[in-house]
Structure 1
Amino acid sequence: MTDIQAGLTVLTVLVVPYIVQAIKTKAMTGNVARWTAIAVSALCGALTAMAGGMPTDPTAWVTSIFAAVGGVQVAYAAFKSVGVTDKWLDALLALGDVKKGA
């Protein structure tokens, strides 16, 4: 894994939990949100693997994809346990929500 790929993986790990929380609605259950996060992070992992050119070694694909998926799951669990995804992001998302009649 190159420095660029490592940086992209860290960026993915920090950003994807917020993206999933931002699109999460009452219609999206926890399991759907979890699988959405896994799918998005797997895609980001595949794109990260290609950052240094198309990998010819299958282990490069697996390393990048599992690093992104595992990192996102760990970050999401850590963010959730301290209330980052629930309180902070929900508060940020509510900033643009103007209540009528207020």
Structure 2
Amino acid sequence: MTEIQAGLTVCTVLVVPYIVQAIKTKAMTGNVARWIAISVSTLCGVLTAMAGGMPTDASAWVTSIFAAVGGVQVAYAAFRSVGVTDKWLDALLALGDIKED
């Protein structure tokens, strides 16, 4: 894994949980949100693998994809345990809402 790929993986791990939380609605269960996070992080892992040029061996694909998927799942669990995704992101998303009295 090159420095660019490692940097992209770290960015993916930190950003994807926020994206999933931002699109999460009451109509979407936690299980659906988890699969969306896995799908998005898999796509990001594929793009990360291709950042240094098209990989020629399967291990480069697997490393990038599993690093992104696993990292996002770990980050989401860590963010959720300290309330980052629930409290902070929900507060940021509510900044544009003006409540009428």
| Partner Cα separation in structure 1 for residue 36 and residue 25 of structure 2 | 13
- Residue 88 of structure 2 aligns to which amino acid in structure 1? W
The offset of 1:10, in angstroms, is: 0.2
List per-residue Cα deviations over 1:56-101 (Å, max 9, x = no partner). Answer: 11000000000000000000000000000000000000000112x3
Matches within 5 A, 1:25-64: 25-64=25-64
User: How many residues in Structure 1 have an aligned counterpart in Structure 2?
Assistant: 101
TM-score, structure 2 length as denominator? 0.98
| Partner Cα separation in structure 1 for residue 98 and residue 46 of structure 2 | 39
| Partner Cα separation in structure 2 for residue 98 and residue 66 of structure 1 | 41
1:52 match: secondary structure:
coil
> Structure 1: 5+ residue runs without aligned partners?
none
Identity %: 88
List per-residue Cα deviations over 1:18-56 (Å, max 9, x = no partner). Answer: 000000000000000000000000000000000000001
- Residue 78 of structure 1 aligns to which amino acid in structure 2? A
| Partner Cα separation in structure 1 for residue 21 and residue 6 of structure 2 | 24
| Partner Cα separation in structure 2 for residue 48 and residue 59 of structure 1 | 13
| Partner Cα separation in structure 2 for residue 5 and residue 98 of structure 1 | 41
Aligned to 1:15: 15
| Partner Cα separation in structure 2 for residue 3 and residue 39 of structure 1 | 24
| Partner Cα separation in structure 2 for residue 98 and residue 86 of structure 1 | 20
Aligned to 1:89: 89
**After TM superposition, where is structure 1 displaced by more than 2 Å over at least 4 residues in a row?**
none
